[in-house]
Structure 1
Amino acid sequence: MLMAHPAVLENLLDQYEALHADHGDTDDARRRMEDVIYTLCVSTGTRDIGPALAAARRRLAQDSAPSAARLPGRSGPCRPGAGVG
C-alpha cells in the first residue's frame, strides 16, 4: 500500500486539530473538516477518522524512530547493485 509522506500526514493532523478546536462553526469550516477527514482516511488506507488519526500518528512515530538506513555505516543509495563495480 502506498503511504503518504510524513510531512503530508503531519500537515493533515495539524489541520484536523485546528479545525476540531474551531468546532466547525461555519459551512466553510465544516467543508474543510470533511475534506481533511477524507484525505486522512485515503492517505492512511482507513475508512473512519479514529483509525486514520491512529495510523497517521503511528506512521509519524515510526518515521521519527531510528532506522537501519540512518545508522552509521548504512548511508548511500539503497538500490540493487549500488556501489558494486
Structure 2
Amino acid sequence: MLMAHPAVHTELVAQYDALRVLNAEQSSPAVRQRMDDLAYTLCTATGTADVDAALVAARHRLPGARPEDDSLVTD
C-alpha cells in the first residue's frame, strides 16, 4: 500500500484536532463537511476505515514517533 508522507499526516491530524477542539460537530454545515472531508482523507492516507483508527495510525507515523510506542495496542 502506498503511504502518505509524514508531513501530510501532520497537517491532517492538526486540522482535524483543531476542528474537534472547536466542537465543529455542532457548527455550520460547511465546517462539518470540512471535518468529514478530513476524516475521509485521514482514512484514505492511513488505509483505515474509521477516523479514530486513522488518527492513531497517522500519529504513529508522525516524525518523532517511537517504534516501541504502544499507542496501537488496545486494552
Per the shorter chain, which TM-score range? 0.7 to 0.9
Give the superposition deviation at 1:64. Answer: 2.6
CA RMSD of aligned residues (A): 1.5
CA distance in 1, matches of 2:13, 2:2: 18
Structure 1, unaligned stretches of length 5 or more? Answer: 67-85
Identity %: 52
Give the superposition deviation at 1:65. Answer: 5.9
Structure 2, unaligned stretches of length 5 or more? Answer: 67-75
**2:13 is aligned with what amino acid?**
L
Aligned pair count reads: 64
TM normalised by structure 2 equals 0.79
TM normalised by structure 1 equals 0.70
Instruction: Considering Cα pairs closer than 8 Å and 6+ residues apart, tell me whether 1 or 2 has the greater RCO.
Output: 2
- The aligned residue for residue 17 of structure 1 is 17
Q: Which runs of 4+ in 1 moved over 2 A?
A: 63-66
